[in-house]
Each structure stands twice: as C-alpha cells, then as structure tokens.
Amino acid sequence: MGYVGLCTAATFASRGIKTIGIDIDEDRIGQIQRGKAPLHEPVVKRKLLKATTDTSEAVSTDASFLTVGTPSQPDGSIDLSYIKNATESLGQALQNKQRYHLLVVKSTVIPGTTSKTVRPVLEQSSGKTIGPGLGLCANPEFLKEGTAISDALHPDKIVIGSNDKKSANQLTRLYRRFYGTKLPPVILTSPETAELVKYASNAFLATKVSYINTIANIAQYIPGVDVNQIAGAIGHDPRIGPLFLKAGPGYGGSCFHKDLQALIHYGRDHGYDPVLLAATEETNEQQADKVVGLTEKLVGPLESKRIAVLGLAFKKDTDDIREAASIRVIDRLRKKGAKIVAYDPMAVSSFENVFGNTIELAENRYTALKEADCAIVMTEWDEFKKLKARDYIANMREPNVIDARRIYRPEEFEQLNLVAIGLGSLNQERAS
C-alpha cells in the first residue's frame, strides 16, 4: 500500500472491482481502514477497498498486484528483498487455493526478476507451477506522483509481459473490463521486455531533463538567450516533443536516480558500461553545483551569508523530498558556511528528519525571506509564483534571487537582482 499500490487499488475499487489492499504496516492499514488516506475516502465508504495486514486474504481474489518497493542497495544495485518476502507470503497463502490465481508484478524490477526471482519463489512457496492454475505477468506502471490517479485512469499504454498466454489474457481481460472502450494500446511482450520498458522510460525522461539542463548551462553564457524559448522551439519537432524540457536544479524523486543506478549497475554487471546513463546522473549531480555557483556569483563568498531556500519537495504538490535537488544544494551551501533558512508548504517535517536542527525551518514564505542575503527558488510551488518583487524587497537584507525553477518573468522582477537557470542576462554573461 505504498504510492503505487494505494493508487492502483483505489482506481480499481472506484470502478466497482472488489479490491483488497494488503500491507505489513499496521499503521498504514489502520489509516486506510479509517478512511484517512485522502485519495480513498469515497472508495472506502462504499466498502470497495478493504485494507488488511493479512496476506491470506488475497486468496479470495482473482489477481494480486505486487507493488512493494525496490530500493537501492548501497552499491546502487536493486534490493529485491521486499519482492521475495511478499511473493513468499502470497505463495504460502495460495497453497490450498483451488481456483486460478494471477500474480502481477507492478514493482519496478530489473529484467529477469519476474522469471528468475518471483517465479521460483512463488512456485516453491505455493507448491504449484505456472500454468493452468497459476499465472504470472510483469506489468510496469508509469504513474507520476501528484497525478497518479489520473495517470492510472488515462494511461498512454499498458505493457504486459508474460511467458504464457493465459496470464496475459486474464490481465488483458481485467483491463478491458476496467477501461471499456477507452482501453489504451495493450503491448504484449516477454516479462524481460516489460521490465526493461519501465527502465527505458525513466532513463529517457531523466536524460531529457539532464539534456535541457546542459543546454541551459550553455545558454547561461550567452546574453539574450533563454533556454525556455529554446525548449519551446525544439519541442515543436514531433521527434523531440515539448514535455520534460523544463530546465531546473536537477531531477529528484524516488525513481529516476534509483532506476538509473540500477540500470547502470545491471549493464556493468554484464560487461557493458552505459556511459550515456552515467552522464545523465553526473549532469544531474553537477546541476546542484551550478545553483550554488550562481549564488556565489551573485552574493560573493557564502561564509555566514543567510540563504533562504524556497521549496524542499522534489517537485510541487508533494511532501516527498526523496533525492530532492534541495538536499544536494543545501548540503553544498552549508559546506561553504552559509546559514540556511528553508520553507516548504508541505515538506518541512520530512526535511526535519534529514537535517535536524542544522538548518532553520521557517513558518511561511515571508518569514523565510526575513533578513536573507539571497533567496533560491528550489520548487515550483504556486505560492512562490505569487510572490512579487516588493515581497522580496520588503523582507530581505538584499533582494538577490536565484530562480532555479524558472517560475518568474524576469521583466517583472527588474528591481531585484534576479538570476535564472538558463537565462543569459547582460550582467550574468560570466556566470558559471
């Protein structure tokens, strides 16, 4: 019942499909049972989504979706322990089931996991073999945090990887029932292809972000050049497309870094070094140095400077700070002796766990700016977009602003010392 599981369960349940959400985390299950999970209240009220810590309840259903996390090990490779544990307890529960049961692997797993890890664990723990009585598919998800429900309701494709026709047919039938005439293209593949599609998708998106950040960093040296105009222009070419070309402080979130590292590691394990993917990651890491460099250019040495960081979440409309660019930037600013005061509309408490009391956390966007020598916009929250030049001038010691998310129109902020990622302005041609 993590992000993917909860959203998948909620969308199935909302269409009248009897759904059981299973997790070992009692607090989380208790919350869902009480209808506390914000996404699920109407569904829970109609008793369509039942939540439990008892895996054996899955036996009463036709299909189980495995949506546990696949975190990184210290060396970057994938940790499959949750996959193995969840599969094993499901397998044990299925031992005495007479009817057909389908296991669908939705978690992001490295190619070969469904066939070489999930299958033997499932077969051994259930005492059954994949075939007429037991099915197994890889079926990756492409949900984005913040729009997961809408993404689940309107996917651009469904990818189903299986080695037997019955499993693929059963899952296709479930999706056909769910989407009706709006069924998106269903792509039937081997389990390994389906697994790699997920990585290929995230690696491409991450590379697109690092690519536009590279162009932004070059644009920065050329007065009168704006990376947003460049992105807009190249985006008209259907071979390139307009999305995921927003320059910024680097990508964050629980997936891109983890999945790229897992894929790089997998390639290297097989004797191939995927240098493009390593460069995507390195470019992303460097983008934090870029933000700090621009800050130094604007305010001089950072020792004892008070820097207001506006936004901690890895993107707007979430309290998630996993792998957020704000963490990389704050780390670097602190190493250079800056005093940090940070504010985020939703993510402040998650941030406390990371930085403890080594940074100051402000109550609101205005108190964050008080007496600051520089403000850095790290997340594109709507409430930061509403700040006017006068708000910065009235509160800060010096109105120095780094727009790392390109949320402001520079012409409206001429009274400020505004530096924006990917905007080559006349007094910033030497920005580095």
Binding residues for ligand UGA, rule: CB under 6 A, are 108, 141-145, 202, 205, 209, 244-246, 248, 251-253, 255-256, 314-315
Distances in whole angstroms, Cα of residue 229 to Cα of each of 77, 204, 235, 236: 38, 22, 10, 11
Helices (H) and strands (E) in the chain, counts: 17, 15
One-letter amino acid for residue 363 of the chain: E
CB of 114 to ligand UGA, least distance (A): 17
If the CB atoms of residues 302 and 327 are measured against ligand UGA, the closer one turns out to be: 327
Q: Among all chains, which residue has been given the structure tokens 């080594």? A: 358
If the CB atoms of residues 94 and 247 are measured against ligand UGA, the closer one turns out to be: 247
* DSSP string of 204-255, one letter each residue: HHHHHHHHHHHHHHHHTTSTTEEHHHHHHHHHTSTTT-STT----S---SSS
CB of 223 to ligand UGA, least distance (A): 24
Q: Which helix (H) or strand (E) holds 351?
A: helix 348-355
Distance CA 393, CA 410 (A): 15
- What is the side-by-side strand order in the sheet with 186-189? 63-66, 101-105, 134-138, 158-161, 186-189
Does residue 160 contact residue 171 with C-beta atoms inside 8 Å?
yes
Cα radius of gyration rounded to whole Å, the chain: 24
CB of 263 to ligand UGA, least distance (A): 12
CB of 379 to ligand UGA, least distance (A): 8
If the CB atoms of residues 60 and 147 are measured against ligand UGA, the closer one turns out to be: 147
Distance CA 155, CA 53 (A): 29
Residue 255 designated active-site: yes
If the CB atoms of residues 108 and 125 are measured against ligand UGA, the closer one turns out to be: 108
If the CB atoms of residues 46 and 157 are measured against ligand UGA, the closer one turns out to be: 157
- CB burial string 15-37: b at 16+ within 10 A, e below: eebebbbbbeeeebbeebeeeeb
The full length of the chain comes to: 432
Cα atoms found within 13 Å of the Cα of residue 425, Cβ hemisphere only:
17
If the CB atoms of residues 34 and 144 are measured against ligand UGA, the closer one turns out to be: 144
The residue annotated as part of the active site, out of 7, 137, 255, 374, is: 255
CB of 261 to ligand UGA, least distance (A): 13
CB of 259 to ligand UGA, least distance (A): 6
The catalytic site residues sit at: 255
